[in-house]
Amino acid sequence: MNSFRHDASRTTVLTFQRTLGIAVACFVLLIAMNIPIIATAGEKLTVYSGRAERLIKPVLDDFTAKSGIQIELLSSGTTELVNRMKAEGDRCPADVFITNDAGSLEMARTAGLFRPLNMREVERAIPPQFRAADNSWIGLSGRFWIIVYNTTMVKPGQLQSLQDLADPMWKNKIAIPNAGSEYLQAGVSVIRASLGDDRTRKFLEGLRDNAGTQVYQKSSQIVDAVAKGQIAMGIVNHYYVYRHLATQPTAPLAVVMPDQQEGGMGAIMNVAGIGVLKHTPRMESAKLLVEFLVAQAGQKMFADLDKEYPLHPEVKADPALVERKSFRAALVPLTKLAELREPTMQLIEQVGMR
Q: Tell whether 281 and 343 lie within a shared domain.
A: no
Residues 6 or more apart from 118 whose CB is under 8 A from it?
Answer: 135
What is the CATH classification number for the domain harbouring 169?
Answer: 3.40.190.10
Q: Do 124 and 171 fall into the same domain?
A: no
Tell me the pairing of strands 253-256 and 138-150.
antiparallel
Assigned domain for 13 exists: no
Whether residue 255 sits in one domain with residue 156 = yes
- Both 202 and 326 in one domain: the answer is no
Q: Please list, in sequence order, all residues whose beta carbon lies within 8 angstroms of the beta carbon of residue 76, skipping any fewer than 6 positions away.
A: 48, 49, 50, 84
How many domains does the chain fold into?
A: 2
Q: Is the pLDDT of residue 12 over 50?
A: no
- From 14-28, 263-277, 332-346, the region with the lowest mean pLDDT: 14-28
Structure confidence by residue, pLDDT tens digits, 270-324: 999 999 999 999 999 999 999 999 999 999 999 999 999 999 999 999 999 999 9
Closest-CA residue to 74 (of 99, 91, 108, 111): 99
- Single out the residue of 323, 284, 345 nearest to residue 43, CA to CA: 284
Are 104 and 166 within one domain? no
* Distance, CA of 170 to CA of 281 (rounded, Å): 54
Q: Alpha-carbon distance 333 to 336, whole Å?
A: 6
Structural domain contains residue 289:
yes
> Do 307 and 276 have their domain in common?
yes
In a domain, 6, yes or no: no
Q: Give yes or no for a contact between 226 and 253, defined as CB atoms under 8 angstroms apart.
A: yes
Question: Are residue 327 and residue 340 in the same domain, yes or no?
Answer: no
Considering the domain architecture, whether residues 108 and 153 belong to the same structural domain is answered as: no
Q: Is residue 150 part of a domain?
A: yes
Structural domain span for residue 152: 144-268+335-351
| pLDDT tens column, 185-197 | 999 999 999 999 9
Q: Are 263 and 153 in a shared domain? A: yes
User: Are 339 and 305 in the same domain?
Assistant: no
